[in-house]
């Protein structure tokens, strides 16, 4: 099973690309959806977040708006939150990959906004980054309800620069040229990697534990390195 890591900064069109993979019949793990589950009523993150951030849980679920305001601009609080949430989301990701492997699917997609930032690229055979010009990105994000320039800038500050993500990618998919072009690029990628030999599943747990000690280019890259679809 080929594991494809799909990423892209906020407003770059990653969610659209993810939906396109689903329409192709490719199973997709949605990291954002997993976060919603663990923070929702009965979610595994509710109790530890309630202990770490009193007053944030309402009616058995985490108040995401209140939590966002609590950690906004506070690096220590954000780190504390990530320490709680990331392992729980990672567990759901593992379950997804195990189910896909059991079904013998040839390709599984991990849709993870912070794929590089939290070093989960080591789990993937192929890395795909969705990108668009900065002006298009800003227009998309600032059109969202409740979004401000201050919030947008704070989000960008926590994310790896788009140029660096593109440098690390095996395929860069432009999303500013219309949905038809995006779909064409993704379809071509799926076709190109069809006959690849999987190397990342089952995972090499030792490599995952030590990835932070290696430079990005030290990773054993697949044969399509730096290809631009």
Which of the pair, 49 or 220, is modelled with greater confidence? 49
The CATH classification number of 1-27+106-229 equals: 3.40.50.300
CATH number of this structure's domain 33-104: 3.40.50.300
Mean pLDDT confidence for 23-43 = 95
Q: Which residue ranges make up each domain of the chain?
A: 1-27+106-229, 33-104
Asked, colleague to colleague, whether 1-27+106-229 and 33-104 share their fold, the answer is yes
Query: pTM for this one?
Result: 0.83
Tell me the per-residue pLDDT of 144-162, one tens digit each, with 9 for 90 and over.
999 999 999 989 998 999 9
**Cis-peptide, bond into residue 202, ω within 30° of zero:** yes
CA neighbor of 6 nearest in space, from 22, 28, 25? 28
* Cα(120)–Cα(175) distance, integer angstroms: 23
Run of H or E residues at 58: strand 57-58
Tokens (6 digits) for 79: 């780190």
**At which residue do the structure tokens 């900065």 appear?**
134
């Amino acid at each position: 099973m080929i594991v494809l890591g799909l990423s892209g900064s906020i407003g770059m069109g990653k969610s659209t690309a993810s939906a396109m993979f689903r329409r192709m019949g490719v199973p997709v793990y949605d990291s954002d959806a997993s976060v919603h589950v663990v923070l929702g009523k009965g979610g595994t993150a509710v109790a530890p977040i309630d202990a770490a951030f009193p007053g944030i849980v309402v009616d058995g679920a985490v108040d995401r708006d209140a939590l966002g305001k609590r950690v906004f601009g506070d690096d220590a609080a954000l780190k504390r939150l990530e320490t709680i949430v990331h392992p729980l989301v990672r567990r759901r990701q593992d379950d997804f990959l195990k189910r896909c492997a059991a079904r013998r699917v040839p390709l599984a997609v991990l849709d993870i906004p912070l794929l590089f930032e939290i070093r989960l690229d080591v789990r993937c055979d192929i890395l795909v980054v969705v990108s668009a010009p900065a002006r298009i990105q800003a227009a998309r994000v600032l059109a969202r309800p409740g979004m401000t320039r201050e919030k947008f800038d704070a989000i960008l500050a926590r994310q790896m620069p788009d140029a660096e993500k593109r440098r690390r990618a095996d395929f860069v998919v432009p999303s500013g040229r219309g949905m038809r072009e995006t779909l064409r690029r993704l379809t071509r990628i799926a076709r190109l990697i069809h006959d690849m030999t999987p190397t990342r599943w089952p995972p090499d747990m030792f490599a995952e534990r030590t990835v932070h000690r290696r430079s990005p280019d030290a990773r054993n890259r697949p044969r399509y390195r730096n290809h631009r679809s």
